A and B are shown apart, each in its own frame.
Chain A
Amino acid sequence: MDISVVFQIAAVGILVAVLNQVLTRAGREEQAMITTLAGLLVVLFWVIRYVSELFVEVQVIFNL
């Protein structure tokens, strides 16, 4: 597994948190929520591969 994806996810987390703060302060709660959702989707898109790998691994280990 490539370790750099962890740092990328961390960076996205920090940036989304700051964006959220900036938008909330400006009274744009809706956009703030959309940004958070977008960040979540981007990260999910990145990790979905590893999640599916994990499931396959579990299946193999327990002979399911």
Chain B
Amino acid sequence: MYLQLLGAAVVVGGAAALGFHYAARESARLLDLLELKKALLILSSEIDYMRTPLPTAAANIGKRTERWVGPFFSQFGEALGANDGETAYQLWARVLGQVDDAALTEEDVKVIDGFGKTLGYLDKQMQQNAIDYAVRYIDETAAALQVQAEKSKKMYRSLGVIGGLFLAVVLW
């Protein structure tokens, strides 16, 4: 009997933890996107005012940003510095593929990947346009997320707890 109770408690606790994890992920995505926006704005200034070469710019951004964005740009800068004939996009895609601690959706990754395709292509203006486009995507997504985040967080939390209780009752 006590063992059964213990098992039920573990099931409920586990499901609740899962719910809280997803709730935390919801705000993590927003923070991750905003950090990427910061990085893109720095890149825009680096191109506009300093005309820094891409490897140095990426390294600088890596130092100035946090979360997944910092390591990502640092690695990208290093990869560009040690380049052996690959295009900037190939390196970008490879480093992006190695990122595993970002709470991004498939669509986010697609947009970031698409941005990589414009790196080092044509002129300064073209690069600025690509940055503007990516920043606009982030702004729109972030606005939608902020409205939705509170609702979703509450939902994930209650879903976790109630789902756990449900499972415990079914398995009793």
Contact-residue size bin, chain B (C-beta under 8 Å from the other chain):
10 to 19
Count, chain A residues at interface, CB 8 A: 16
B95 at the interface (CB under 8 A from A): no
Contacts of B27 in A (CB 8 A): none
Chain A residues in the interface with B (C-beta under 8 A)? 4, 8, 11-12, 15-16, 18-19, 22-23, 25-28, 39, 42
Q: Using a Cβ cutoff of 8 Å, how many contacts connect chains A and B?
A: 35
Minimum distance in angstroms from A9 CB to a CB of chain B: 9
Tell me what chain B mostly uses at the interface: helix, strand, loop, or mixed: helix
Contact B166 A26 (CB under 8 A): no
Chain B residues in the interface with A (C-beta under 8 A)? 151-152, 154-155, 158-159, 162-163, 165-166, 169-170, 172
Contacts A8-B172, A12-B170, A42-B170 given; does A19 touch B162 at CB 8 Å = yes
Contact B166 A15 (CB under 8 A): yes
Contact A19 B159 (CB under 8 A): yes
Contacts of A19 in B (CB 8 A): 159, 162-163, 166
Beta-carbon nearest neighbor of B165 in chain A: A15
Q: How far is the CA of A11 from the CA of B172 in the complex (A)?
A: 11
Contact A8 B169 (CB under 8 A): yes
Contact A18 B162 (CB under 8 A): yes
